[in-house]
Amino acid sequence: MGPERASGVGTRQRRERSPEEGLSPVQSRRWAMARRALMAVLSFSLVLGISLLLWAYVFRGCGPPPCKTPVCWDLLDHYLASGNTSVDPCTDFFSFACGKANRTSNSLQALKEENKRRLRRILEAPGAWPLAPGEEKAFQFYNSCMDTGAIEAAGAGPLRQVIEELGGWPLSGNWTPLGFNHTLSLLMSQYGHFPFFRAYLRPLPTPPHVPVIQIDQPEFDIPLKRKLEVKTYTQILREYLTYLNRLGTLLGGDPSKVQDHAFSSISITSRLFQFLSPLEQRWAQGKLFQMVTIDQLQEMAPVVDWLSCLQATFTPMSLSPSHPIAVHDLEYLKNMSQLVEKELSKDRGFLQSHMILGLVGTLSPALDSKFQEAHRVLNQKLRELTDGPPLPTYPRWMMCVEESEAFFEPTLAALFAQETFGRSTQSAAMELFTVIKEALITRLQRLPWVDEETRKEALNKVAQVQVKMGAPEWALKPDLARQKYHDIQLQPSFLQSFLSCVRSRRARIIRSFLQPFPHHRWQVPPWGVNAYYSVSDHAVVFPAGLLQPPFFHPGYPRAVNFGAAGSIMAHEMLHILYQLLFPGGCPACDTRALQGALLCLERHYASFPLPKGISFNGSRTFLENAADTGGLAIALQAYNKRLLWYRGETTLPHLDLSPRQLFFRSYAQVMCRDPSTQDPRDTHSPPTLRVHGPLSNSPAFARHFQCPHGTLMNPSSRCQLW
């Protein structure tokens, strides 16, 4: 029995012994190591699982913490002041984001005005900045502009002096004719006034984009639209006649003669307007501009001494009869020449009065309040007659800031960049752009309608694009921005100081075009709020004035920066590829798929209701619609990737918006403006469509705002272009 129990016990013990028993020492050690590794993996998995559950509870349940820094509180105030949270975001997100107290907020206009206030603070504190000799003239000019007492005391005297320099005019009773071309040359070169055409130096819009003198249609003080009702047109002419009569009286003209000269000026303007060729017509004819020599233009429009007038205006350029120029409307110039010849043969005095009255309008910013009020009343009456919005009233300081920034841009650009675009802002903006660019590249790699060869070319173009951020290189290096302004002579008369600045600015622009310039020539100043893509330089440009609150700040929640500034960056990047969307622009692509996506987008935008009186031309806006829709999608993709790899997201306190809801809210904030204020020539869709079109095309928007299927912002079908 003993042995059997022993044998039995022994057998039971052998079955229960550990795996190491019976193994060699080496095998035993290996098994122990494997067991410890397995236990470590199991422990790590348990800890990770618990961490994920805790993260999901804290982040998704309680949500990210609110940002309570001063810049975030300011942004919250801005959102609360500009939006209307009582509106259902699924039925009218534009009103939800932009409509407040029966009015529409205008984010870009508000940012423009804030940038002017920043410039004002700079101009009113010259002692706070290290200035080079000569740069103090910018501050002296501003102070002179703000000295309304001295301007009012001088009255019309400085303007009468200018008229005498032009030989006088019949209304004053003191007229010594200088000759038509002599007067025209003085008006163009010394006073910046172009009564019959505009002349400017600018790069050609087509390759090789070299700077060339361009002759364009004139600008008129009155909206002589072709489709106005006869009654409205008559009222407009009556108001303009009243304005011209008032100018003549303010200048001391004989009241019995003023009316005749005002009538004659209106007649000349009306006939010039009839000669204009609409832009659409010239576009269809392929005649946006024609290259001719000065000699050829002299033969076709002989009343103007083109060589002498252009030489005086564009000094220090050296011109000759064979010098090429770009003419935008050649037929207009031919007819203009014939009209002026007839007027010269009838009564030279009426033509002189027409030129003088136009000059007064050009110089009105530098004149006393009587002239400025006459111009303001005219503009207000014209807006009423053409159903335009009321004319906004701006304080004196804002006009003085605008004139100062135009004449002293080199100095003010450096100071503005120093004030608003420091290293932390530069670094954060460039980081955002890099992430947006990477998202675009990822999207291009998966684009279904693009063939492989075109895809490679597109990826190469995106990779090689230059990015200009904040301000020109010379403005970011103050020593390069130093200007002495030797040619500006500030006078006791503000008008004479103003004219000296006009001449200096034109000469500075001409010199800049004549000198070799290795860098991109910025088309907007640093305080501008418009980003753009330059085809000639293959560069996307984002001025410092745009990369400001409420669109961008290093301390904002990421959702705000990606939704506002990020969408703008993606929008401009897509303009690099706009040629692909034109007929024949991508011959090897899947044309059927591309055209289907474009047609889908066109129908998508056409399906939205518009405010009363607002029109929409889908064929004119399709490029911008594609960039808006794609820009939003790319920015959202970049933001989602950022959330995946980086923690620390915040939101705005008391706004009850999740990070992705805040992203969409910030996108819409960029588009906030009154639809009735849109320029008819604008190639963007009305602001309501710029909000509703892209957002309703995003499934993520409907998901995060929980929009019921079939509502305006959650349609049954969507389009996939980019």
Which residues are part of the catalytic machinery?
Answer: 572, 628
φ, ψ of residue 446 in degrees (nearest 5) = -115, 5
Q: What angle do CA 324, 330, 335 make, to 5 degrees?
A: 135
DSSP state of 66: B
Q: Which residues contact 80 (CB under 8 A, 6 or more apart)?
A: 655
SS3 at position 99:
strand
513, two tokens: 């075009």
- What is the bridge-based pairing of β-strands 466-470 and 539-543? parallel
* Cα–Cα distance, 107 to 82 (Å, whole number): 9
Q: Chain centroid to CA 280: how far? A: 23
Residue found under tokens 């590829």: 577
SS3 at position 527:
coil
Q: Find out whether 161 and 333 touch, Cβ atoms under 8 Å.
A: no
* Cα–Cα distance, 533 to 537 (Å, whole number): 9
φ, ψ of residue 587 in degrees (nearest 5) = -60, -30
* Cα–Cα distance, 525 to 355 (Å, whole number): 31
φ, ψ of residue 620 in degrees (nearest 5) = -80, -25
Q: Tell me the Cα Rg of the chain.
A: 34
DSSP state of 169: E
720, two tokens: 């996939």
Q: What Å distances lie between residue 300 and 287, 292, 324, 668, 688, CA to CA?
A: 17, 10, 15, 51, 47
DSSP state of 68: -
How many Cβ atoms are within 10 Å of 165's Cβ, its own excluded?
12
Could you report how far apart the first and last alpha carbons of the chain are, in Å?
A: 88
* Cα–Cα distance, 158 to 5 (Å, whole number): 131
Q: Which helix (H) or strand (E) holds 293?
A: strand 290-293
Which amino acid, 491?
Answer: Q
Q: Find out whether 493 and 477 touch, Cβ atoms under 8 Å.
A: no
* Cα–Cα distance, 57 to 478 (Å, whole number): 51
Residue found under tokens 């810049």: 71
Which amino acid, 531?
Answer: A
Q: Chain centroid to CA 14: how far? A: 85
Q: What Å distances lie between residue 58 and 62, 64, 406, 650, 712, CA to CA?
A: 5, 8, 53, 13, 33
* Cα–Cα distance, 45 to 348 (Å, whole number): 96
Residue 292 pairs in a beta bridge with: 325
Q: H helices within 251-286, ranges in order?
A: 255-275, 279-284
Q: What Å distances lie between residue 115 and 319, 401, 527, CA to CA?
A: 40, 10, 6
How many Cβ atoms are within 10 Å of 214's Cβ, its own excluded?
18
Q: What angle do CA 235, 240, 242 make, to 5 degrees?
A: 95
Residue 467 pairs in a beta bridge with: 540
